[in-house]
Structure 1
Amino acid sequence: MEQHSLETVGPDVFRVGSGPIRNGSAAERHLEFKIDIAHARRYNQSRKEARKTISAMIVMALGLIAAASYLLSSSSAGAMVFGALTACLGLTILVIAGYVATQNRPQGYLDRGVLNPAIVCAAEKGQIFLLTLGGIGLYDKVWAVFITRVKDLPGHRNAVGERIPVTCVFTGTDGARYQGVGVSPIAWGTSSAKVLQGAVQGIDESEWQALDRLRYQVVLDTDYAAMGAKGIQVLNQAQVERLGLK
């Protein structure tokens, strides 16, 4: 594809390739596309949830700072020391809230994560569950699946088996594998059918076929909470070979 600046072209331009360097590393497979900020603000569920957390942190920080001000006005040395510590805690929480807000801009994880395949494994009672496949190994290929509950998938059918390209940001490690993951559907960042289809095609067909087989193994309880699929579920070597994953 001819190289253009994504900031100066239309919303249907995209590239699949290595991602930008973040914290000393880059996503091996990344979708670069022009994110529709208004669209992302409306649909990015992760951002909405983060905003609640940020608001709670700000309220807590302001409360601590107010308490610190009262203690610092005291004539007691002990109260003043405790007030100073309280003020430091409040300011620290404010800084953390600011960092979280920066990381959860409307484009959020969409512009820095790994492009991975997900598939709708359940869609009832207004809830949609995505089964995502991704590699969690820091140095070796370690395949794993994880379930994410979402509310909106604009541009997709809310039907079991629907292919949903997502971007994943992996966090925390034990030295060999990532311990956490944040999943954001590409559809949260664009309404372009061309970009969504391009993202699907940019993922190896063997991964989509593996997910289609794996979705039959996912068990959900009557309240549609995943059973046996809490957090990241690592696939063993026998499963990887049966699924034909590379």
Structure 2
Amino acid sequence: MRRFEFAVDREHARAVNEVVADLRRLRVLAISAAVGLGLGSGFLIWLNHPWSYLLAVAFVLGAATALFIGLYTPHRGRVDKLYAAGELVPAVVSETNGKGATLLALVNLAKPSADGPRYALVTRTVRTLPGHRPRTGERVPAVTVRIDRAPTSVGVSDLWQSVSAMPIAWGTRDLNIIERARGAIREVEWQLLTDNLDLAAKVRHADAKRLLLDPRQLPEELRR
């Protein structure tokens, strides 16, 4: 896995990093749900009916799950940890509009247990891209954020269920760091994205929000 180390500017990331903002919203929703379910379970117990106790148990379990998510999210959402855990990948601006831009990224969906890489195209809509020019074809180095939504015992797979791209520019104001990250990515990867910019709309509207690439049609450098 290709890593990219740099000093994350936490103040800058809190202001512009949309992944961190999404995790912050998730935490607020989870804690609110935990409080609501906790109050609901208390009310059901107060009713003192056999059926209300059964519902109260379900509410308590739901509250415990929501509280765990709310407490775990800040640990998982530490921006420096996200950048350290991700793989450096290329992304290219495929479309711009008044509200932001769409990035087309090349990511490897394979887990460490897989036989080899499985490359796919994914898209991400962003509102801001500090340090970059908002134009089609702009090269945006990023790192991957990987998620398995289902428990590992359900449908075990060698591929990550969800992989998105988080721009390096969301973690630093330093243009030299962004340029160093851009240079650490092979030209063959940038060229592959540039050649497939017209697929961005297809990827964006796909059910899984990704398009697996046929290994046989990849450049030789990406087959290993």
Give per-residue Cα distances to partners, 1:125-175, cap 9 Å, x unaligned.
222010100221232121111111001111111111111010002233852
Q: CA deviation at 1:50?
A: 2.3
The normalised TM-score by structure 1 is 0.78
1:160 to 108, 116, 136: 136
The normalised TM-score by structure 2 is 0.85
Q: CA deviation at 1:206?
A: 1.1
1:144 to 114, 120, 143: 120
Q: How does 1:42-191 map to 2 (within 5 A)?
A: 42-107=15-80, 109-138=82-111, 139=114, 140-172=116-148, 174-191=156-173
**In 1: Cα distance, 2:72 partner to 2:102 partner:** 29
Point out the structure with the larger helix share.
2
**In 2: Cα distance, 1:229 partner to 1:125 partner:** 25
The question of 1:245 aligning with 2:218 is answered no
Number of positions where the alignment pairs a residue of Structure 1 with one of Structure 2:
214
| Contact 1:218-1:229 within 8 A present in 2 as well | no
Give per-residue Cα distances to partners, 1:155-202, cap 9 Å, x unaligned.
111111111010002233852222211321010000111111110111
Q: Which has the higher contact order (CA 8 A, sep 6+)?
A: 2
**In 2: Cα distance, 1:244 partner to 1:212 partner:** 17
Seen in structure 2, the aligned counterparts of structure 1 residues 244 and 210 have a Cα distance that, compared at 3 Å, is farther
Seen in structure 2, the aligned counterparts of structure 1 residues 107 and 206 have a Cα distance that, compared at 3 Å, is same
Root-mean-square deviation (Å): 2.3
Q: Which AA in structure 1 matches 2:178?
A: L
Q: CA deviation at 1:77?
A: 4.3
**In 1: Cα distance, 2:10 partner to 2:89 partner:** 22
**In 2: Cα distance, 1:133 partner to 1:168 partner:** 10
| Contact 2:123-2:164 within 8 A present in 1 as well | no
- Report the equivalent of 2:193: 211
Q: How does 1:11-22 map to 2 (within 5 A)?
A: none
**In 1: Cα distance, 2:47 partner to 2:205 partner:** 54
**In 2: Cα distance, 1:75 partner to 1:244 partner:** 68
Q: CA deviation at 1:74?
A: 3.9
What SS does the aligned partner of 1:60 have?
helix
| Contact 1:146-1:230 within 8 A present in 2 as well | no
Point out the structure with the larger strand share.
1
